[in-house]
Structure 1
């Protein structure tokens, strides 16, 4: 028999303003320790060098992670023109250079080809699995990795500023699974000047914004104290993109037992994924059918 996981049964979302130099999993571990939480996870990895929104779910909120992961996210990043690296960011080794520098109009003209439904080849140094092994592990071993292109939805890619001839600042809003480093690499190739990401910040992720992000310093200062719980957002924040269907106490009891439960009128249509609430608190997520919610996951909330 495996050992039970120790920790508090505490649930909610914490919006961390991730500092550079840490992996996303290391941040999750720090948050779990600070709250003494039994369970924690995040909704979308950030590269170690990147900063910004890392949404960390505790307890029952981990059941809402897929809905935040699937939501749109926004990134602001600076592309260094004139050099390609083996990691497609400033952490890597320069492997090629170019003296070509495109004009502002050339950059703007190239951006639309990276919007909409596109195909993107992840960087060599990425967590993508190739023949059962992580691409970054193979790349570090000096192997040439063949990575298949993957679909990505890019809602928008816009030029924010051109600080100098060697740099351009961009903002991208995209769906899950996107690599900003690959956008910088491919843009540099299209412009004929090469390029890589010099800095990257996620400014929002689904319902969570960087302005509400909490620093690790503050989390560490409040660790293991009663005051730290005030930093949490309710788990319902992870469900804001789904229709909310109020239910009755009897309906809530049935849903919590994994059975269909009656829900009250809403704008949800037959077959929609939605969540049932009782007094504003999440009871279950499931499929709406003819006045009932058929649960796929329930909350001890």
Structure 2
């Protein structure tokens, strides 16, 4: 019987909050970070288009188990809409499909925003990662196939017009929930205003629970390749990592001792004692000595592990 293959790379865990540059795909960015950190595993929490810049949270190692909690978080985008053209991709990359000489007034733009605030129905772009009959919509679109993508509910918590630099452009900020396509907002704004529109600039500045000042430019990381000593280089890179538990800051938290941590890592429940012990929680996380041990549920005086961390 052959031995299981040892995973390549370091068993390092944590979050790297990358400031993704323009013209770099999210998958490409993850591969670059995985290679730089020599990590065994890596994944991201929410795709950013190549033509978009900004916050791309990348999970390394065990932190990949916490990706769903970040995917569900609120996001903030700053974006510029250029009026007069609708494009196949709803951004600069696509071909012009509709055009108009009309331009909206600032008053008309502001009066439109309440319609797109709150829970709204949105049809994702043709060029999107939505699956249609098992295939990605963007794959079908690239083959020239027009597909009907059903609308879905998304939540826009805040939508602000920041400025109108000229008659052909408007700059916005949006705080929204999971699954919102900012490109679709630009498309729908343009249609409602009768002038068409597309995204000409897009930047993500926030993905809950990570703040904007936690972002690290890719250039700051690649500059460390000049450090010849591998141990020193990796130590310098590791200094940019955020502890895995930061992704769970919206969940209830319990602090446990070493014996309890050992039990949880073996897959066993632990008793919760004390007047302040939580009674029932669908999800919570436990730490020992400041390190994440497990995510689980609390009920009947017990913490029952669902996912454990090394």
TM-score by length of structure 1 reads: 0.95
Structure 2 CA distance for aligned equivalents of residues 166 and 34 of structure 1: 41
In 2: Cα distance, 1:254 partner to 1:55 partner: 31
- Alignment of 1:294 with 2:304, yes or no, is yes
CA gap of 1:222–1:122, structure 2 versus 1, over 3 A, is: same
- Over the aligned positions, Cα root-mean-square deviation in angstroms equals 1.6
Q: Does 1:281 align with 2:291?
A: yes
- Structure 1 residue corresponding to 2:243, chosen from 234, 244, 251: 234
Partner residue, 1:253: 262
Unaligned runs of 5+ in 1: none
Measured against aligned partners, the alpha-carbon deviations of 1:85-140 in whole angstroms (never above 9, x if no partner) come to 00000111111111222211211111111121111111011111111221111111
Between stretches 248-257 and 20-29, larger displacement belongs to: 248-257
Structure 2 matches for 1:93-242, cutoff 5 A? 93-223=95-225, 224=230, 225=233, 226-242=235-251
Q: What displacement does 1:264 show?
A: 5.5
Q: Say whether the 8 Å CA contact 2:279–2:301 is kept in structure 1.
A: no
Q: Which residue in 1 is equivalent to 2:69?
A: 67
Q: CA deviation at 1:4?
A: 4.2
TM-fit CA distance, 1:269:
5.4
Asked whether the equivalents of residues 246 and 263 of structure 1 are also in contact (C-alpha less than 8 Å), the reply is: no
The SS at the match of 1:208 is coil
Q: Does structure 2 retain, via aligned residues, the 8 Å contact 1:11–1:60?
A: yes
1:272 corresponding residue in structure 2: 282
Given the two structures, how large is their TM-score scaled by the length of structure 2? 0.92
CA distance in 2, matches of 1:45, 1:13: 16
* 2:82 is equivalent to residue 80 of structure 1: yes
Deviation at 1:267, TM superposition (A): 7.7
Change (3 A) 1:107 1:65: same
Whole-Å Cα distance in 1 between the matches of residues 39 and 272 of structure 2? 32
Say whether the 8 Å CA contact 1:11–1:235 is kept in structure 2.
yes
Deviates more, 1:57-66 or 1:272-281: 272-281
Structure 1 268/78 Cα, relative in aligned 2: closer, same or farther at 3 Å?
A: farther
User: How far off its partner does 1:213 sit?
Assistant: 1.4
User: After the TM superposition, which of the residue ranges 69-78 and 147-156 deviates more from structure 2?
Assistant: 147-156
